[in-house]
């Protein structure tokens, strides 16, 4: 348990160092291409794990978080996606704020998704009475649900800030992307609303966290894909 | 100097035999009088064992006579089947005992506390010298390592403790949980007590006979709920323990579903230990409800026990390694110390706080 936290912590420090060096080189927030975006999302996931893990004694979350972060980083390193976009993107503080807030929100949504998977695994075992060895390592259901709720709130607030700041970028607005982004925002707003108005049971909320993050990832892929194909 | 262990355990003797050879208050004195340079008696409800160190061999019969309480004429020191382990086998046996491998419930941890108490008592009486000191200190280390590096203590192995473990896996901290005990039987009382020992403060009891409910409420500092009102409590409670003698189910899916709509965000854990069951099995299909009957709790307890047994091989590996190391260290250490200095250290030293 401690090793998980320590390992993710060391990885987080190295990620921070990399993003800092890259940021100094670029003279702006290092999210100018898909490579940097993926590293930034992985950094956000690690950041939220560091915040949420100890608060809810959910150290095992590291065993779920670490592979996701490792996969994201591995993909970023192997795939030929580190193309310089320095000339194409002029420095714009609103754009940087919009992009960084949105990506940090992705980190919270990713971790809510991981906590959702853990919840469903634990819940399934309790319901069917088939307890595997992982059962004894997973956190209690109520702790997981509290963590999911907190992560959803963090993600939702940051995503809202990112979305609003997007309107102040001062460039022509890509309406298709905006509609999709608002769609993701509405989905998360519904999950939170449903959680507090008791429309959804905790199990349903956990499942919707997975659906929501899948939708958010699809949107992110769409945004970076169209940004790369539409740049001259 | 040779190390030995002479004893009886649940593997070899019945309760009557264990009672007869439990040893009297002067057992340390008698053992030393029989030729043991050092002696330690480990007496639990499942085993009576003497660990000793002596220059010349002390016979098993002499040890048995020292332990004899002479309370049952049917059994004699000559007829009881004591086992005996010497040197490396004795070391290995103690390591297995302290690790819980030799216990009736594999992996139970109570034996380690009992071994520490026995060691402390013998140390204070001066019956433990350098040989047993080293042996027991190493045994405590081995037990800790086995517990940390294997899953031999994992999972509950009794119905009550399985229920409590499951409650903790659902709710985490049980201090804020509200528990209703329906039916004032012995098993529900035990389960309720187990929950209270883990921090449950809000306990309610309901029973057809108000008098029995009052009795249980007094024993467990619970609040009595009139039997006709218990269904209303389902809106508030987190854990329901049922053990009434009702022939028909008291709680069905249809009865519980409307109540659950008002508490969809909170799980409800139902422990049905009644035979026949008090809760219809269909209730488990409801969202957020986790229903366990006596069969499923017993099945989990058996799974845990099987899982613990699977860990014995891994524990034995750790023990084998330590037995080898211990023998080497004894040979090296004792030839250096030549007895006297070591004796002083043991008499002055005490168990470290972490080991008690």
Closest CA to A151 of A203, A209, A69, A72: A209
Percent of chain A with pLDDT over 70: 86
pLDDT value of residue A124: 95
DSSP A56: T
Domain ranges in chain A? 2-230
Please compute the mean of the pLDDT values over residues B246-275 and round it to a whole number: 89
Residue B347 banded pLDDT, cuts 50, 70, 90: very low
- Interchain CB distance below 8 Å, A141 and B303: no
pLDDT value of residue B40: 94
Nearest to A127 among B151, B171, B284 (CB): B284
Partners of residue B38 on adjacent β-strands: B53
Please compute the mean of the pLDDT values over residues A91-110 and round it to a whole number: 84
Collapsed DSSP state (helix, strand, coil) of residue A139: coil
Percent of chain B with pLDDT over 70: 92
Most confident of the following: B12-16, B42-46, B349-353: B42-46
Distance from CA of B221 to the nearest CA of A (A): 26
Query: What values do phi and psi take at B299, rounded to 5?
Result: -60, -40
- Interchain CB distance below 8 Å, A203 and B154: no
- pLDDT, tens only, B119-150: 999 999 889 999 999 999 999 999 999 999 99
- pLDDT, tens only, A151-185: 999 999 999 999 998 888 777 777 778 888 898 99
Distance from CA of B147 to the nearest CA of A (A): 15
Closest CA to B159 of B271, B278, B239, B311: B271
Please compute the mean of the pLDDT values over residues B325-331 and round it to a whole number: 86
Question: Residue A54: is its pLDDT beyond 90?
Answer: no
DSSP for A210-227, please give it: HHHHHHHHHHHHHHHHHH
Give CA separation, A80 vs A35, A41, A73, A74, A83, in Å. 8, 18, 13, 12, 8
Nearest to A201 among B172, B264, B299 (CB): B264
Question: Residue B38: is its pLDDT beyond 50?
Answer: yes
CA–CA gap between residue B6 and residue A232 (Å, rounded): 88
- pLDDT, tens only, B44-59: 888 999 999 999 899 9
CA–CA gap between residue B354 and residue B356 (Å, rounded): 6
Query: What values do phi and psi take at A214, rounded to 5?
Result: -60, -45
ipTM computed for the complex: 0.77
Distance from CA of B58 to the nearest CA of A (A): 47
pLDDT value of residue B338: 53
- Interchain CB distance below 8 Å, A142 and B168: no
List B36, B45, B177, B234, catalytic entry:
B45
- Nearest-CA residue of chain A relative to B167? A140
Between these two residues, B260 and B69, which has the higher pLDDT value? B260
Catalytic annotation on B45? Answer: yes
Q: Which residue segments constitute the domains of chain B, with CATH numbers given?
A: 2-153+311-355 (3.30.460.30), 159-305 (3.40.50.720)
- How deeply is A20 buried, as exposed, middle or buried, from its count of CB atoms within 10 A (0-12, 13-18, 19+)? exposed
């Amino acid at each position: 348990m401690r090793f998980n936290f320590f390992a993710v912590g060391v990885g987080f420090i190295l990620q921070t160092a990399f993003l800092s060096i890259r940021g100094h080189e670029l003279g702006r927030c290092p999210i100018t291409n898909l490579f940097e975006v993926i590293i930034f999302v992985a950094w956000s996931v690690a950041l939220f794990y560091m915040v949420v893990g100890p608060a809810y004694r959910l150290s095992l979350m590291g065993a779920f978080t670490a592979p996701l972060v490792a996969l994201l980083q591995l993909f970023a390193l192997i795939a030929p996606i580190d193309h310089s976009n320095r000339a194409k993107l002029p420095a714009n503080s609103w754009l940087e704020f919009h992009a960084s807030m949105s990506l940090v929100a992705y980190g919270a949504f990713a971790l809510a998704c991981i906590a959702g998977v853990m919840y469903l695994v634990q819940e399934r075992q309790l319901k069917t009475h088939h307890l595997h060895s992982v059962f004894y390592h997973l956190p209690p259901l109520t702790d997981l649900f509290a963590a999911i709720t907190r992560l959803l709130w963090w993600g939702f607030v940051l995503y809202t800030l990112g979305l609003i700041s997007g309107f102040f970028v001062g460039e022509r607005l890509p309406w298709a992307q905006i509609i999709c982004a608002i769609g993701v925002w509405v989905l998360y707003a519904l999950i939170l609303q449903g959680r507090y108005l008791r429309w959804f049971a905790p199990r349903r909320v956990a499942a919707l966290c997975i659906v929501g993050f899948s939708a958010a990832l699809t949107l992110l892929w769409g945004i970076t894909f169209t940004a790369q194909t539409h740049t001259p | 100097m040779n190390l030995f262990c002479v004893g009886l355990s649940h593997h070899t003797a019945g309760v009557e035999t264990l009672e007869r050879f439990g040893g009297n208050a002067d057992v340390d004195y008698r053992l030393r009088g029989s030729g043991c340079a050092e002696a330690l008696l480990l007496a639990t409800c499942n085993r009576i064992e003497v660990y000793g160190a002596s220059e010349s061999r002390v016979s098993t019969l002499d040890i048995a006579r020292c332990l004899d309480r002479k309370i049952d004429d049917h059994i004699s020191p000559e007829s009881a089947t004591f086992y005996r382990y010497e040197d490396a086998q004795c070391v290995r046996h103690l390591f297995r005992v302290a690790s819980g491998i030799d216990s009736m419930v594999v992996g139970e941890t109570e034996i380690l506390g009992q071994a520490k108490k026995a060691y402390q008592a013998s140390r204070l009486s001066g019956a433990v010298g350098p040989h047993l000191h080293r042996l027991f200190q190493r045994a405590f280390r081995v037990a800790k390592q086995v517990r940390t590096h294997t899953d031999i203590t994992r999972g509950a192995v009794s119905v009550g403790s399985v229920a409590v473990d499951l409650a903790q896996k659902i709710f985490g901290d049980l201090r804020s949980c509200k528990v209703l005990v329906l039916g004032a039987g012995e098993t529900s009382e035990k389960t309720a007590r187990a929950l209270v020992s883990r921090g449950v403060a809000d306990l309610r009891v309901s029973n057809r006979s108000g008098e029995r409910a009052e009795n249980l409420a007094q024993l467990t500092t619970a609040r009595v709920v009139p039997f006709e009102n218990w269904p209303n409590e389902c809106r508030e409670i987190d854990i329901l323990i049922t053990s009434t003698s009702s022939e028909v189910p008291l709680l069905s899916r249809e009865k519980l579903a409307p109540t659950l709509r008002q508490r969809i965000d909170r799980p409800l854990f139902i422990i049905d230990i009644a035979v026949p069951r008090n809760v219809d099995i269909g209730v488990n299909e409801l969202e957020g409800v986790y229903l366990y009957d006596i069969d499923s709790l017993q099945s989990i307890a058996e799974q845990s026990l099987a899982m613990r047994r699977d860990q014995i091989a891994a524990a034995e590996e750790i023990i084998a390694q330590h037995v080898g190391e211990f023998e080497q260290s004894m040979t090296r250490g004792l030839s250096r110390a030549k007895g006297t200095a070591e004796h002083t250290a043991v008499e002055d030293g005490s168990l470290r706080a972490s080991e008690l």
